[in-house]
Structure formats: structure tokens, C-alpha cells
Amino acid sequence: MSNIQRLRDFIIATTKVVGENSAEEAAFAVAPLLADLVAQDDWLPEDFRVPHPDYYRQYLLHADPLERFSVVSFVWGPGQTTPIHDHRVWGLVGILHGAELSTDYRRGSDGSLIASEEERLLPGQVVALSPEDRDIHSIRNAFEDQVSISIHVYGGNIGAVKRAVFDAASGQEKPFVSGYSNDHVPNLWDRSAEVRQALQA
Ligand SMILES: [Fe+2]
């Protein structure tokens, strides 16, 4: 059974933080909450950890009703990778299972994109992105023979944000709206078991 209350508690805490802080401050304040969430891999329901044979999956776990943030489960099959892309809102990446390789890009004088050294991200690790810093990147599964999963938090409804994918050699960008892989989200709100238990106490 999954300990879905960990996700519920994270969403409650993040909703408070986002309501009380500016976007820049919210990203800093949510980072330790996400680190707590990905410290244990016992809460993500099975439906949201299923890989696709050809493409990485992005399962929406929660979108704030005011679209101030969203929480997404990224599931990478063996060897799968994102295109080079940007976000245009703040973002946090927390590794839940497996390992991922992250590459940042900066513009060269000829307009091409220059890759940083690949960074290996391990379970429990959280990295931050912002429109000003590390906004253009790519991520891939570090493994050729197993699934990796990361939990991402963004400062908007990321599946509906107008952003871009890039060609590294020319630096040319193409419009990109990612959408989501799922049409239902986890039920976080069935708290009946704990209420019944309290009745019996
Ligand atoms: Fe990204």
C-alpha cells in the first residue's frame, strides 16, 4: 500500500508556502519539503510509475487550482531522454528512484548551445531551476536497463506553459507545450481510515 499521505502533506505545505511567498522565495522554501518527500520511495501509487516503451512519461500528481504550482512524476524507461528544453517558471527536480543525468546549456557567441558537464543525480537529491539560472537543460535516465523516477515541482501548470525545445548545433528554438501523460490524478483525500480509527480510540 502506498503512503499517499506523504504526497498530501507535501501539497498542503507547498500550497501554504506558495501563498505566503514571492515566486523566487517559494522555490527556496519548497526545496526542503521536496527533499523530505523524495527521501522515501513508498508513497507514489503504481499508476504513476509506469514507463512507456518509447518515451518518458510525465504524470500530473497535482495542479494548484490557481495554477501557482504543479507536481509531476517523471518516469524514464531505460535509456530515455528529454529534448533540450526550457521551463520559463521556477522548478525543482527531486530524484525518487534510480538515477538521472542532467546537462545545462548556455549560449555561445555564434548562438549555438554549449553543454555543461553532465551531472549525476541520485535518490533524495533535489536541484533547482529558474528562468534566470539553469533554465535550458536536458535530463536522461542514467541506466540502460532500469526505470528511473523523479518528482518535479514547477511554479505554474507546467503542462500548459508555452515554452521551447532547442536544437543544440543551431541554437534554434521551437515552440513546445508538454501536456501530461495521464487523464486522472491520485485521490489524496480519502482520509476515512484515520477518521474511523479516531472514532474507535
Ligand atoms: Fe526540465
pLDDT band with cut points at 50, 70 and 90 for residue 1: very low
Q: Return the minimum-mean-pLDDT range out of 73-77, 121-125, 148-152, 168-172.
A: 168-172
- Tell how far the Cα of 86 is from the centroid of ligand 1, in angstroms: 6
- Tell how far the Cα of 118 is from the centroid of ligand 1, in angstroms: 14
How far apart CA 31 and CA 102 sit, in angstroms, is 18
- Tell how far the Cα of 127 is from the centroid of ligand 1, in angstroms: 11
pLDDT in tens, 6-17: 999 999 999 999
Q: What is the pTM of this model?
A: 0.95
C-alpha cell at 16: 501554504
Q: What angle do CA 5, 7, 11 make, to 5 degrees?
A: 115
- Tell how far the Cα of 136 is from the centroid of ligand 1, in angstroms: 8
- Helical segments of the chain, H only: 5-20, 23-38, 192-200
- Tell how far the Cα of 176 is from the centroid of ligand 1, in angstroms: 12
Q: What angle do CA 8, 157, 190 make, to 5 degrees?
A: 25
- Tell how far the Cα of 13 is from the centroid of ligand 1, in angstroms: 23
